[in-house]
Amino acid sequence: MHVVVCVKQTPDSAAKMSVDNGKVTWGDSGLVVNPWDEYAIEEAIRLKEKHGGKATAISMGPESAKEALKTCLAMGCDEAVLISDPALKGSDALATSYVLAKAIEKLGDVGMVLFGKQAIDGDTGLVPVAVARRLNWSPLTYTIKIAELDPGTKIIKAERLLEQGKQIVTATLPAVVGTVKDINEPRYPSFMGIRKAAKAVINTWSAADLGLDASQIGAAGSPTHWPRVFPLPARAGSVELIDGTPEEIAAKLADKLLADKVI
Amino acid sequence: MSHKTWVFIEQFKSTLAQPSLEALGEARRLAAGRGGGVTALLFGQDIEGLAPDVIAYGADEVLLADDATLAEFRAEPYASLLSKLAQERQPDVILAGATTRGRDVLGIAAVDLGTGALADVTELKLVGDQIVATRPVYAGKLLAEVVGERRPLLLSLRPRAFPRPEPDASRSGGIEKVTPALAEDAIAVKVTDYAVDEGRVSLADARIIVSGGRGVGGPEGFAPVRELAETLGAAMGASRAAVDAGWIPYAHQVGQTGKTVAPDLYIAAGISGAIQHQAGMRSAKTIVAINKDPEAPIFKLARYGIVGDLFKILPALTAEFKKRLGQ
Ligand SMILES: Cc1cc2nc3c(=O)[nH]c(=O)nc-3n(C[C@H](O)[C@H](O)[C@H](O)COP(=O)(O)OP(=O)(O)OC[C@H]3O[C@@H](n4cnc5c(N)ncnc54)[C@H](O)[C@@H]3O)c2cc1C
Ligand SMILES: Nc1ncnc2c1ncn2[C@@H]1O[C@H](COP(=O)(O)O)[C@@H](O)[C@H]1O
């Protein structure tokens, strides 16, 4: 089975974010594979190891996103494709889902496409289900376990983590699987993998290569916009330290929390 | 121009979801500012009895779909019906809770309707006729004002970011029955089971959360955390360090790669307050930090700080609150 994993490059999760002249910056912190996508990459590699076939990583982003794709190759993906074009800049979730769906169609023989839960920059979590809709594939978002998969009969049984517990579902391939953190423990790239990835050639597809409709991509083709980004308001007041014996502390804190009406 | 505001109502086993009630409250506020009324979309099986509650919480009209294909939540039949109704009736705005179900439904509807979806909104305002939403970005490290230029505008509201309205039993409204958009054989996903976590307060809905981190030292270290949580009727949270160590399941993890929560009270015990943990809990109204290291970053966020050993402080708090709350 050919599995695809969609990966975004984002600022490091430990980066200090600030706004400079209306533009978001993160100092000299690096760019990384979106942390949520590591679980999707691991799952793609495990599926290929178990069922044969290949795992392809795709990313839409600037040239720098090749680094994220190299991490995918170093972990064990077989191929990687960067979708990059100045016309794609400013694409929102709707536009991104259009571009990724077109790329998956172009790959042709895909049985499953895996996603992270959300990208830690925009934090929308909309792209996976939107891609499923565009492809008209089974939407299995928030998957915490692929319990059974039979590429022959094309039946997949998955457990989805919803607010009240786990929903257990069966569906048919091809499917879109959105992963959540507990699905697996992502591996580190191996030394050999890193060496191989360093030499790998990563194909780049442009908007024209995918035959994209210009009115559906980039900032102009996106229905949502962020006219203003700003830092969080400072938390009012500073910490009030409470001391004494444990019993005294408990009594003082109880007084305060009851007075504040938070209990 | 019509200003119809719609709310996608979520129910689980015939209980209305809190975030849907909060969305009804916000829909009323939008309707008060712009007119147009509030329509609730209530889908499921044998859920007609919920319609009066939905009206009491703020709907002027309920579009009710009661069918076996809608018994368990599934994104395809739910979203297909919502999209079909929206195509026919042209609402201006559709609100939902920013839950797993709300995001899936709006994500599909965005594609069907070729419109924009704004996820996880924490504030809404009207600037003239324009709806401006505020939402956290970069894991809550920054805020963005976001707008959508096409209609209907789809908005998912972060749980507990908006007040829950008081139900008003004297409100009246119409109930209109609608039929599903998809037949069972057109739906790819079948639900075979649901493993409910019994007796657990859901983190997203919790008014109070008591969380433990690496400082609890092991799985048994969560006992005093659990006792205080039970005494306060609180949900139990954890840092990633405690989850990764296998001391407590992932469902309890708060933070950037866990749940985002906004309780009235968040008690963090043995948690240093790393930026990724803060991403999940910084919008709590009141934060109490218990940590033996006075330099721990969590104290910068906390309203009340206790420098000390959690194994002494938590049991003392449990005993005190048992007394105060008459248990
Ligand atoms: C991509 C990425 C995503 C992440 N996502 C998350 C996330 O979602 N959630 C999350 O929490 N973390 C997340 N992290 C991890 C985060 O960076 C921290 O490592 C983690 O939050 C630390 O957990 P902790 O505070 O429990 O442990 P520590 O930082 O080790 O802190 C333990 C604290 O306990 C105190 N302590 C010890 N013993 C006692 C005692 N007896 N009494 C009182 N205090 C005591 C210590 O003083 C210390 O401050 C993420 C990291 C990365 C890289
Ligand atoms: N530009 C992109 N390129 C590849 N995958 C993406 C891109 N943007 C989002 N994704 C995928 O969609 C998931 C959800 O992203 P989002 O909906 O933007 O929060 C991510 O975890 C990725 O798997």
Report CB contact under 8 Å: A260, B312: no
Ligand 1 contact, B102 CB (< 6 A) = no
Interface test with B, best of A126, A140, A215, A260 (most B CBs within 10 A): A126
0.90 cut: is pTM over it? yes
List CB contacts of B137: < 8 A, sequence separation 6 or more.
Answer: A121, A122, A123, A226, A229, B143, B144
Q: Are A150 and A162 in contact (CB under 8 A)?
A: no
Ligand 1 contact, B45 CB (< 6 A) = no
pLDDT attached to residue B198:
64
Residues of chain A with pLDDT under 70: none
pLDDT attached to residue B199:
59
- Each residue's pLDDT, cut to its tens digit, for chain B (327 residues) gives 579 999 999 999 999 999 999 999 999 999 998 889 999 999 999 999 999 999 999 999 999 999 999 999 999 999 999 999 999 999 999 999 999 999 999 999 999 999 999 999 999 999 988 899 999 999 889 999 999 999 999 999 999 999 999 999 999 999 999 999 999 999 999 999 998 876 566 888 899 999 999 999 999 999 999 999 999 999 999 999 999 999 999 889 999 989 999 999 999 999 999 999 999 999 899 999 999 999 999 999 999 999 999 999 999 999 999 999 998
Distance from the alpha carbon of residue B127 to the mean position of ligand 2, in angstroms: 31
Identify the structural domains of chain B with CATH numbers, from first to last. Answer: 4-186 (3.40.50.620), 208-325 (3.40.50.1220)
Pairing of β B117-121 and β B153-157: parallel
Q: State how far residue A250 is from chain B, nearest Cα, in angstroms.
A: 5
Chain centroid to Cα B286, Å, comes to 18
Radius of gyration of chain B (CA): 21
- Residues A47 and A67: their CA atoms lie apart, in Å, by 23
CA distances to A180, B15, B137, B162 from B68, rounded to whole Å, are 29, 17, 38, 32
- Residues of chain B neighbouring A246 (CB-CB closer than 8 A): 308, 312-313, 315-316
For tokens 């200003």, name the residue: B3
Report CB contact under 8 Å: A140, B112: no
Residue of B210, B214, B309 best suited for mutating to test ligand 1, as the one with most atoms within 8 Å of CB? B214
pLDDT attached to residue B181:
98
Radius of gyration of chain A (CA): 22
pLDDT attached to residue B43:
98
Distance from the alpha carbon of residue B155 to the mean position of ligand 2, in angstroms: 19
- ipTM for the complex? 0.93
- Residues A52 and A208: their CA atoms lie apart, in Å, by 32
Ligand 1 contact, B292 CB (< 6 A) = yes
Identify the structural domains of chain A with CATH numbers, from first to last. Answer: 2-216 (3.40.50.620)
- Residues A20 and A42: their CA atoms lie apart, in Å, by 36
B186 touches chain A (CB under 8 A): no
- Residues of chain B neighbouring A226 (CB-CB closer than 8 A): 137, 144-146
- Residues A244 and B215: their CA atoms lie apart, in Å, by 21
Phi, psi of A233 (to 5 degrees): -65, 145
pLDDT attached to residue A233:
85
Q: Are A164 and B197 in contact (CB under 8 A)?
A: yes
pLDDT attached to residue B200:
65
Angle at A147 between CA A143 and CA A153, to 5 degrees: 110
- Residues B33 and A6: their CA atoms lie apart, in Å, by 41
Burial of A149 (C-beta count, 10 Å sphere; 0-12/13-18/19+): buried
For tokens 């919008």, name the residue: B283
User: In this structure, what token pair is assigned to residue B80?
Assistant: 């297909």
List CB contacts of A194: < 8 A, sequence separation 6 or more.
Answer: A74
Restricting to A residues 115-174, those with a Cβ less than 8 Å away from any Cβ of B are 120-130, 132-134, 137-142, 157, 159-172
